[in-house]
A and B are shown apart, each in its own frame.
Chain A
Amino acid sequence: MALLTMDAAKKSATSGTSNKPRRGLARSTSGGWKQVAGNQAFLIPAIVVFIFLFVIPLCQTFYWSLTDFTGYSTDANFIGLSNYKIIMTDPSMLAGLGFTLLFGVGTTLLVTLLAIPLAVQLNKVFFGRNLVRSLWFFPAIPSMAILGLVWRYILSPLESGVLNSTLHDLFGINALPWLSDNTLARLSVIMVGVWGATGWHAVLYTAYLQSIPGDIYEVARVDGANARQQFFGLTLPLLTPAIVVSTFLLMTGGLKVFDLPYTLTNGGPGFATYTLTQSIVVSGVSQGRYGLASALAVLFTIAVALLAFGQLALTKMIERKFV
């Protein structure tokens, strides 16, 4: 009974908050095709920006990927698919693939699992709420490169490292090789990434939570739903649009990560925390192999696009089921 009522309340909430115009109504009140064309004209600046900042650079990158462009001269020779062949045959070119995927998926899952409950807590009324929200949001303000340098000192594997000495003083634990053991180094990079992103995404979820009418919780409470039932029956389904946005941003950002692992571990030990983006930057800028770096970037763009669209399709499917 409680769940039935919650379902009704949820439908009422979603229909109440929906701003989608009805097609027929839009046409009848828009003033015909001229008005529609006028409305579409507002998209032109965005399209122009998209073309100049995405389509043209992407086409250029594809062109360079078929050449031996060094970055020092525009006199590049057409070499066909040689750069793609090198990527496929040289294992070190794809050394960053594993950790890039691990970081993208790991941070997406962990941040989502932490940010939603955090947002629910931050949405409640309590003394000092704004201060607590600010503290959680703080890690999102400095660049990840700076955070990486700070955390490099905190996670130093030496006995004198900040975390190691604290753990030793408090619990008598011996120094842990945070950044010098492959597994711990990977874990450290992911945990710092999660720490840096959780607050920002919690604020995103908080914004969505505030758009959920309070009376549906009132109805659910009257109907006897406990806190857990309210969370899983109301909050979580109604947060699905926010989850779609948040996970999309996390996944694409995670796959493109460069600054955090670069400053925290410089891709090491060995290639343990090496990322594909670092591979692209190092090949292009440091090694003057822009053609090769472009080929890697093209493949990377395609892979990220496929993953992102796949994720979008999946989350849309879930959204349709719950909302």
Chain B
Amino acid sequence: MKKTVLKLGAAVLAASLALAGCADPDSGKTKVTFLSWTGEEQMKPILEAFHAANEDIKIEASYSPPVAEYIQTLQTRVLSGTAPDVFVIAAENKTNLLDGGHVIDLSGEPYISKVESFNTETYGRDGKAYGLSVSSWAAGYMYNEDLLKQVGYDTFPTTWDDFLVMSKKLQDAGIKPFLESVDQMPTTLSAWIGAKTNTMDGKLDDKIFSGETTFAAEWTPYLEQYNRIYTEGLVSKDVVGLDGDMIRDEFANGRVAVMNAGPWVINALRESSPDLKFKFALVPGVDGGEPFAAGAASPGYAINSKSDETKQAAAKKFLEFLASKEGVQIFHEQTRDVTVTDDFEPEVDPAFEPLASSIRNGQLYLPMIAWQRSEDILNVEAVAQIQRMIQGEITPAEVAKAMDTKLAGS
């Protein structure tokens, strides 16, 4: 009887050990949790390549779609003390993550020096780097080459005045000249402010947020110029009820000559309208400013400051791989993002080339990410007030004044 019990016990123990071995093939590896902004399908090949190159580390990835859901998921996990070891720092959570000390300083890490300084500075503060951003995006104007040819244009205007003249010719020819979605900060305004900031060595927002100048003083002239296209009747005020997808459909069907757009519409347009000839252009300059693009560094990978040292060391290896030539190549193949590391040249759609150079040179601007605090508060206010301006309810000066009031109260 005693022997039987012993045999049974030994069998159970052996089975348990065998099962334990089967259940966790990654035992002994350093496990790094990762909340991905990029979708699972696109991230999987990158993780597989990393695991193949780093057999002692296991990345346990979870996924949350951008933007609001990702921000909320990460916020909840940070608050509950279950934040992943690696996560994404974006325009929407940058201030809170840095203020709360939730991310470690990556300055001095060799992979940080591989990316454009524009990208490192975007997710940095006081000369320190807190996020690894390996790509950027840019938005400008996309135009229908055939429709522009109908009114005698082979090249795109480079000044706002010339653009308005072209719009009038298109309108007279029965062609809808331009549509821009204003459910977010208009591309046109972002580009103009970016062009101005560029000439000031990037100090415009510093001056506004330090109180040296105001939105009213700096933004009003640009808002007035922007409003001309609506007050002169060249573009319908109905844009306040349109989103980017609706405008893209209009463009795809040849019902509008120019729209604001980024590289994310290229594949959809090539599929839906294979015969459509289109090209990107920088937003025409205004008041003597240079043509410019709206855009920003893509969200960066950050490491949790609360993770233990072993996990942080493994996380740094993961970031090192993400910035490596192999990692960036897979990332580019999966996402088609324009990457900005020094040892990989991404393929760019020929139509997008006019904006790609802005990405390579870091000549991009997005107010939401350039503002130093209260980014979303100001953005929500600005978008709503710009919509009211387009409807004719308030003046451009009142838009800028409302932003100053919001900044003062936040």
Of B71-79, B119-127, B128-136, the stretch lying at the interface with chain A is B71-79
* Contacts known (A270-B387, A288-B96); A160 close to B183, Cβ less than 8 A: no
CB pair A268 B183 closer than 8 Å: yes
CB pair A177 B71 closer than 8 Å: no
Please tell me if B397 contacts chain A, counting CB pairs below 8 Å.
no
* Contacts known (A160-B255, A266-B183, A270-B388); A71 close to B75, Cβ less than 8 A: yes
Please tell me if A178 contacts chain B, counting CB pairs below 8 Å.
yes
Of A151-159, A220-228, A305-313, the stretch lying at the interface with chain B is A151-159
Please tell me if A294 contacts chain B, counting CB pairs below 8 Å.
no
Please tell me if A74 contacts chain B, counting CB pairs below 8 Å.
yes
| A residues in contact with B374, CB < 8 Å | 287
| B residues in contact with A265, CB < 8 Å | 241
CB pair B243 A270 closer than 8 Å: no
| A residues in contact with B72, CB < 8 Å | 285
Please tell me if A56 contacts chain B, counting CB pairs below 8 Å.
no
CB pair A270 B409 closer than 8 Å: no
CB pair A72 B97 closer than 8 Å: yes
Please tell me if A39 contacts chain B, counting CB pairs below 8 Å.
no
Q: Which residue of A lies closest to B74 (CB)?
A: A72
Restricting to A250-293, which residues have a CB under 8 Å from any CB of B?
265-271, 274, 282, 285-289
B246 to chain A, nearest CB (A): 6
Instruction: Report the separation of the CA atoms of residues A179 and B72 in the bound assembly, to the nearest whole angstrom.
Output: 28
B59 to chain A, nearest CB (A): 24
Q: Which residue of A lies closest to B386 (CB)?
A: A270
Q: Which residue of A lies closest to B240 (CB)?
A: A269
Please tell me if A203 contacts chain B, counting CB pairs below 8 Å.
no
Please tell me if B114 contacts chain A, counting CB pairs below 8 Å.
no
Restricting to B292-337, which residues have a CB under 8 Å from any CB of A?
none
Instruction: Report the separation of the CA atoms of residues A185 and B242 in the bound assembly, to the nearest whole angstrom.
Output: 12
| B residues in contact with A270, CB < 8 Å | 240, 384-385, 387-388, 391, 393
A59 to chain B, nearest CB (A): 18
A259 to chain B, nearest CB (A): 13
Please tell me if B380 contacts chain A, counting CB pairs below 8 Å.
yes
Please tell me if B381 contacts chain A, counting CB pairs below 8 Å.
yes
| B residues in contact with A158, CB < 8 Å | 238, 242, 246, 250
| A residues in contact with B385, CB < 8 Å | 270
Instruction: Report the separation of the CA atoms of residues A314 and B84 in the bound assembly, to the nearest whole angstrom.
Output: 52
Please tell me if B239 contacts chain A, counting CB pairs below 8 Å.
yes
Please tell me if B102 contacts chain A, counting CB pairs below 8 Å.
yes
Please tell me if B253 contacts chain A, counting CB pairs below 8 Å.
yes
Please tell me if A70 contacts chain B, counting CB pairs below 8 Å.
yes
Q: Which residue of B lies closest to A152 (CB)?
A: B243
| B residues in contact with A157, CB < 8 Å | 238, 241-242
Restricting to A228-257, which residues have a CB under 8 Å from any CB of B?
none
Please tell me if A180 contacts chain B, counting CB pairs below 8 Å.
yes
Restricting to A190-223, which residues have a CB under 8 Å from any CB of B?
none
B390 to chain A, nearest CB (A): 8
Instruction: Report the separation of the CA atoms of residues A288 and B71 in the bound assembly, to the nearest whole angstrom.
Output: 10
B302 to chain A, nearest CB (A): 13
Please tell me if B218 contacts chain A, counting CB pairs below 8 Å.
no
CB pair B242 A287 closer than 8 Å: no
A150 to chain B, nearest CB (A): 13
* Contacts known (A72-B97, A180-B241, A269-B241); A282 close to B380, Cβ less than 8 A: yes
Could you mark each residue 140-172 of chain A with 1 if its beta carbon is under 8 Å from any beta carbon of chain B, else 0?
A: 000000000000110011101000000000000
Please tell me if B203 contacts chain A, counting CB pairs below 8 Å.
no
A5 to chain B, nearest CB (A): 56
CB pair A71 B250 closer than 8 Å: no
Instruction: Report the separation of the CA atoms of residues A271 and B382 in the bound assembly, to the nearest whole angstrom.
Output: 11
Instruction: Report the separation of the CA atoms of residues A212 and B409 in the bound assembly, to the nearest whole angstrom.
Output: 59
Please tell me if A315 contacts chain B, counting CB pairs below 8 Å.
no
| A residues in contact with B388, CB < 8 Å | 269-271
Q: Looking at the complex, which one of B78, B237, B239, B377 makes contact with A287 (CB distance below 8 Å)?
A: B377
Please tell me if B406 contacts chain A, counting CB pairs below 8 Å.
yes
Instruction: Report the separation of the CA atoms of residues A289 and B374 in the bound assembly, to the nearest whole angstrom.
Output: 10
CB pair A177 B376 closer than 8 Å: no
A142 to chain B, nearest CB (A): 19
Could you mark each residue 202-237 of chain B with 1 if its beta carbon is under 8 Å from any beta carbon of chain A, else 0?
A: 000000000000000000000000000000000001
Please tell me if B92 contacts chain A, counting CB pairs below 8 Å.
yes
B49 to chain A, nearest CB (A): 33
Q: Which residue of B lies closest to A269 (CB)?
A: B240
Nearest 5 Cβ contacts at the A-B interface: A180-B241, A179-B241, A270-B388, A269-B240, A157-B238
8 A/B residue pairs, CB under 8 Å, sorted by A: A70-B99, A71-B96, A72-B99, A265-B241, A269-B241, A269-B391, A285-B75, A287-B380
Residues of A near any B CB (own CB < 8 A): 70-74, 86, 89-90, 92, 95, 152-153, 156-158, 160, 175, 177-182, 185, 265-271, 274, 282, 285-289
